Amino acid sequence: MGQLDGKVAIVTGGTMGIGAAIAEVFAEEGARVVIASRNAEQGEALATTLGSAVRYLRADVAKREEVQALVDFTLTEFGGLDAMINNAAITGAFHNRFLDDDLADFDQVVNVNLAGVMHGSQIAARHMAKQRSGAIVNLSSIAAAVPGYALLTYRAAKAGVENFSRSLAIDLGEYGVRVNAIEPGHIPTRNSAFGEHPALTAEQSAELTGIVDEIYNADQPLKRRGSPRDVAYTAAFLASDRAAYVTGQVIAVDGGVTAGSAFNQNRLLTEARARYLKDLGIG
Ligand SMILES: NC(=O)c1ccc[n+]([C@@H]2O[C@H](COP(=O)([O-])OP(=O)(O)OC[C@H]3O[C@@H](n4cnc5c(N)ncnc54)[C@H](O)[C@@H]3O)[C@@H](O)[C@H]2O)c1
C-alpha cells in the first residue's frame, strides 16, 4: 500500500529538480499527479515517463487565471484535489551585494515565488475547504530561515512564504485543511548550479562543483549534499494522512544546516585552546 493511495496532487514546477522528484515519489506512493510548469515539451516528456497516473499542464504560477485552469483541469481529469504542492520558484539574479542590485527582477521573483504560492494555495483551498480536507505544502528555503549573503529578493519572498504558510494554517484549520512549508537546504538542481558557467568545459564544471561541494559539506552537520528525493519524501509525508495532525509547520530538509554551523565558535575555541596547550607541552 502506498502512503498516498487514492490521493490527487498538483505539483507546480514539477518538471525538473525537486518538483520532478516530488511528482515521481508521489506517483510511486499511489497518488495521481498533475505537474505544471512553463516548459511543455519537458513536462509532457516527464508525464509520459512517469505513466498514466501523471498528467502535465502548462501553467505559469504568476498568472492567476492559469493556476485556476490548472486546478480545474485536475478536478476534471482526476475528480478531486487532495494535495497542492506549491514548488515552482525562480532564484533571480545572483547579486553578492545589495548596493549593486538594481532590483530589476524584483517583480518577477515576488510574483512567481510569493504571489504564485498565494494563488495556488487560495484556489486549491477553495476546493479543499468544501470537501473539508486537504494538504497544502509550500516550498520555502533555508534562505528564509537564515539571513545571509546575496539573493535578498529571493530571501524576502521565501520569508513571506513561511509567514503566509503559518498564517494560512490558522485560517484554514477549521476546514480540515493543513498547510505546511519545507525549507530545502543545498540540493543540486539547476536552481543551485554553482559549479556551472557557460565558458567551462564539462571537466572544469565537475572540478568547480567538487570545490563547491567541499565548502557546503565542511559547514554542514551531515557531510553530503541533499538530493531532490530527500525533499520529496518530506513532501509526501506532509501530504499524507500520517501528517493528519501537523499544520502550520516549517520543516527544514537541509542536512542540519539550520541547526547551526559545524564550525561553531565553541568548536573552534576548543580546538584552538587544545592546539595552544599542546604546543606548550601542557595536557
Ligand atoms: N535546489 C535547492 O538547493 C533549493 C534550496 C532551497 C529551496 N529550494 C526551493 O525548492 C523549489 C524547487 O527548486 P529546484 O531547485 O528544483 O528549482 P529548479 O529551477 O530546478 O526547478 C524549478 C521548476 O519551477 C518551474 N517554474 C519556474 N517558474 C515558474 C512559473 N512562473 N510557473 C510555473 N513553473 C515555474 C521551472 O520550470 C522548473 O520546473 C523552489 O521553490 C526553490 O526555491 C531549492
Closest residue CA from atom 25 of ligand 1: 13
Is residue 283 packed enough to be buried (19+ CB in 10 Å), middle (13-18) or exposed (0-12)?
exposed
Q: Does residue 216 carry a catalytic annotation?
A: no
Cβ of 55 closer than 6 Å to ligand 1, yes or no, is no
For residues 105 and 111, give the distance between their C-alpha atoms in angstroms, rounded to a whole number: 10
Q: Which of 154, 175, 233, 276 is catalytic?
A: 154
Is residue 122 packed enough to be buried (19+ CB in 10 Å), middle (13-18) or exposed (0-12)?
middle
For residues 144 and 124, give the distance between their C-alpha atoms in angstroms, rounded to a whole number: 24
Cβ of 139 closer than 6 Å to ligand 1, yes or no, is yes
Cβ of 112 closer than 6 Å to ligand 1, yes or no, is yes
Closest residue CA from atom 34 of ligand 1: 37
- What residues contact 16, with CB distance under 8 A and at least 6 apart? 37, 42, 46, 189, 190
Q: What is the pTM of this model?
A: 0.95
Distance from the alpha carbon of residue 176 to the mean position of ligand 1, in angstroms:
28
To test the pocket of ligand 1, the residue of 35, 37, 65, 158 to mutate (highest count of ligand atoms within 8 Å of its CB) is 37
To test the pocket of ligand 1, the residue of 64, 191, 209 to mutate (highest count of ligand atoms within 8 Å of its CB) is 191
Cβ of 37 closer than 6 Å to ligand 1, yes or no, is yes
As separate numbers, helices (DSSP H) first and strands (DSSP E) second, the chain gives 10, 7
Cβ of 138 closer than 6 Å to ligand 1, yes or no, is no
Angle between helices 228-239 and 17-28 (to 10 degrees): 50
CB-CB contact of 74 with 81 (8 Å): yes
Q: In 3D, which of 265, 270, 227, 250 has the Cα closest to residue 146?
A: 250
Q: What is the pLDDT along the chain (283 residues), one digit of tens a residue?
A: 899 999 999 999 999 999 999 999 999 999 999 999 999 999 999 999 999 999 999 999 999 999 999 999 999 999 999 999 999 999 998 888 899 999 999 999 999 999 999 999 999 999 999 999 999 999 999 999 999 889 999 999 999 999 999 999 999 999 999 999 999 999 988 766 777 788 999 999 989 989 988 888 888 999 999 999 999 999 999 999 999 999 999 999 999 999 988 777 888 899 999 999 999 999 7
Superfamily of domain 8-194+223-260: NAD(P)-binding Rossmann-like Domain (3.40.50.720)
Q: In 3D, which of 112, 172, 105 has the Cα closest to residue 139?
A: 112
Angle between helices 116-131 and 64-78 (to 10 degrees): 40
Classify 13 in phi/psi space as left (phi over 0), alpha (psi -120 to 50) or beta.
left
Cβ of 81 closer than 6 Å to ligand 1, yes or no, is no
Closest residue CA from atom 38 of ligand 1: 13
